[in-house]
Structure formats: structure tokens, C-alpha cells
Amino acid sequence: MRARVPVLAANTGGPVETVVDGQTGWLRDPEDVQAWTTVMQSVLAPGADAEMKRMGAAGAERVRAEFGQEKMAESLEALLTGVKAVLMVEYRAAIFIICACAIVPLFGRMIHYNFARPEHGGRPRP
């Protein structure tokens, strides 16, 4: 598509994401030989040049817009931003849990020390 040539591809896997059927090329069932033959005959038919040029230009534009260096950089940046956000949430949760595990026993010890002694009405220590 980048070379301004329409693509004839199977309608499964990667081509489904890249080729727009009827605009940048053709997607056909890999088992349907007649469908592939029909597309190839239409490409070779007299007067198909204008349609091939239009589809080729559309394919080159799609490659530039969807798969060019700038678009890939934007996608990578968005992915890394998402990963960073997830890691920050997990990091904050881990810090909270660690602090809670440290503070709760200390708080319990403080309550026991201050309120469970005999002078505060608590049970005498053995």
C-alpha cells in the first residue's frame, strides 16, 4: 500500500486491520479461488488504471496516517502512559498496605499500653 499499489489479501489476520476492502485493496476469503480470480481479472481489465491509481493513493495515505512513524510514536506514548498510570496505582496501593501493616500494630500497642493497665480499669498484669 505504501508503494501506491492496491493490495489483494486474505480476509483474516493482519490484513483485516490494514486493508480497507474496496478502498485500499480487496479482502477475500482465502478458500474462495473464484473471488480472487475475479479481482485479478478486474485489475487487468482495460480502463482499470484510474481505479488502481485512486486505490493506490488511498492506500498510501492510510499507511501514512495509521502506520507512519508519527502515529506509531503516538501509540507507543499512549501505551507507556497507560502502563505508568497502572504502575502508579499499584505503587500507591503497595505503600498504603505497607503503612497500614506498620501503623495498625503500633496503634494497637498504644491502646493496650494506655488503656489496659490496672490504673485505667484494665486487668492487672500477671
- Given a contact cutoff of 8 angstroms between Cβ atoms, the answer to whether 22 and 41 are in contact is no
- Which of the four pLDDT bands, split at 50, 70 and 90, describes residue 15? very high
Compute CA distances 65 → 18, 62, 110, 113, 121, whole Å: 11, 5, 64, 69, 77
- For residue 9, the cross-strand partners are 27
Global pTM exceeds 0.85: no
Interval 17-40: pLDDT, tens: 999 999 999 999 999 999 999 999
Q: What is the pLDDT of residues 88-102, one digit of tens each?
A: 888 888 888 888 888
Cα–Cα separations (whole angstroms), residue 38 to 15, 45, 70, 96, 106: 19, 10, 37, 65, 79
pLDDT value at position 23?
97
